[in-house]
Amino acid sequence: SDVMERVAYHEAGHAVLASANGHTPAFVTITSRGDMGGYTHMADGSFVETKARLLATIRECLAGRAAEILHYGEKDGVSTGCSDDLRQATEIAKAIVCKYGMDGEIFVVSDEDLKNPYYAQMIHEKVVGILNDQMELTSDQISRNRKAIEKLAEALLEKNQLNRDDIDDIMDDYGA
C-alpha cells in the first residue's frame, strides 16, 4: 500500500543515516508499533554525548522526513509521519543550547530564564538555526545514499523487518 511504502522510505532514511554515522540499528521494521508506523531500534545509548554525537542524532531523527522528501518530492514528501522525530530533534537542539551550553555561549538557561521573552526568542532562533543546518546536512547525506535507501525500502516492503546484518549488507553494496 501507499502508506506502507511511505513508512518503508521513512524508516530506510533513519536506518541509512544511522549506519552512515557508524550507528547501525539493531533492526528496522515497517510493522506498526502503537501509534508509530514503523520503527528503527537503536541498540546502544551512552550517558555522555559529545556535541558532534548529539548533532548526528538530530540528523538521524530528521532522516525519515528527508528520505520521504527525496522520494516523493518537496510537496508530497512532507507528511505527518514524523511528528515524533521532529519533537525529539527539537528537544536535543534545545538541550544543546539550554542544558549543555554547547552553542558557543557557555551558559545554561534555567526554567526561570525561559519565561523571559528575550531569552525565549534567542533560544528559539538558535534551536531553529541548529535544526535548519542539520536538515540541510541530512538532505545531502540522504541524497548521496539514495540507492541504499531505495534498496532498504524495497527489502522492508518485501520482508517487513531487517536486522543489523541485512542493513550492513545493503550499505556495503549501495551506501555512499
Single out the catalytic residue among 5, 11, 49, 105. 11
Which stretches does DSSP call E strand in the chain? 27-29, 39-41, 161-163
pLDDT confidence of residue 13: 94
Which residues are CB-contacts of 28 (< 8 A; sequence separation ≥ 6)? 11, 12, 14, 15, 38, 39, 40, 41, 152, 156, 161, 162, 167
Residue 49: band (very low, low, confident or very high) from pLDDT cuts 50, 70, 90: confident
Query: What tens digit of pLDDT does each residue of 1-13 get?
Result: 688 899 999 999 9
pTM to 2 decimals? 0.85
Is 158 assigned a catalytic role? no
- β-bridge partners, 40: 28
User: Could you read off the pLDDT of 60-112 as tens digits, one per residue?
Assistant: 999 999 999 999 988 887 777 667 888 899 999 988 988 888 877 656 677 78
Predicted local confidence at residue 77, as pLDDT: 75
